Amino acid sequence: MGYRTVRAYAKDSFVEKKSEFIGHIMPVRTNEEAVDFINRIKAENRKARHNVYAYVLREGSISRYSDDGEPQGTGGVPVLDVVTKAGLCDVCVVVTRYFGGVLLGASGLVRAYSQACSLAVGAAEVMEMCECSRVSFSCDYTLYGKVSYILPEFGVISEKEDFADKVDISVLVKAEQAEGLKKKLTDISNGQLELSEDIGLWADFA
């Protein structure tokens, strides 16, 4: 079972009735990383009226949010809802509001915070993370042609190809295809390849 997250920090903003809403999104893996990001955005936006946030973590299935002074349910919940509906996890979103003097009302706040979060998600590069294995081996140059021909069949991500006395190869392959790849490599080499496998890894196969 895969999951979706973002590759790096991103932000976007818009103005609604003179209030500026800035959506910030960041990949995080722990509660500490999320809190650090929230505090960083708050420090960078000391003059802002509100820094509403929500974050979702895979480990422990944690989700937390805060309205940061906005009326209850008008900030953190809409942000969390956008993150959840986008299928994202291991992310933290902070929406900074610079108040423009015009009240938006509860429904207006919900729409504004939802929009700011959606803009931040849209500005980020989303990664489709899949559980995978790292398969590593060395092969002779006479076998390299066959190996390089079959690897694309398994949609691998190439991590290493070092050319020396032999070719040292390391690839990432989706967990459900690892056994098939190892069998194919064994078959085309008549069992000559010594394969090593690291399991339980995650990578972006999008």
User: How far is it, in rounded angstroms, from Cα 141 to Cα 202?
Assistant: 30
pLDDT at 102: 87
For CATH 3.30.70.240, the residue range(s) in the chain are 128-204
Q: Most distant CA pair in the chain: distance in Å? A: 75
pLDDT at 153: 93
Give Cβ neighbours of residue 14 (< 8 Å, ≥ 6 apart): 20, 21, 115, 116, 119
User: What number does CATH give the domain 3-124?
Assistant: 3.30.230.30
Whether pLDDT at 35 is above 90: yes
Pairing relationship of beta strands 167-174 and 19-27 according to DSSP bridges? unpaired
Question: Tell me: the pLDDT tens digits for 44-79?
Answer: 999 999 999 999 999 888 999 999 999 999 999 999
| Stated length of the chain | 206
Query: Which option is the CATH number for 128-204: 2.40.37.10, 2.30.130.40, 3.30.70.240, 2.160.10.10?
Result: 3.30.70.240
Give φ, ψ of 178 to 5 degrees.
-65, -45
Strand partners, 135: 171, 197
Question: Tell me: the pLDDT tens digits for 89-125?
Answer: 999 999 999 998 888 899 999 999 999 999 999 999 9
Whether pLDDT at 150 is above 90: yes
pLDDT at 106: 93
58, 87 Cβ separation under 8 angstroms = no
For CATH 3.30.230.30, the residue range(s) in the chain are 3-124
Distances (CA, A) of 89 to 65, 117, 130, 172: 14, 14, 13, 22
What pTM value is reported for the model? Answer: 0.80
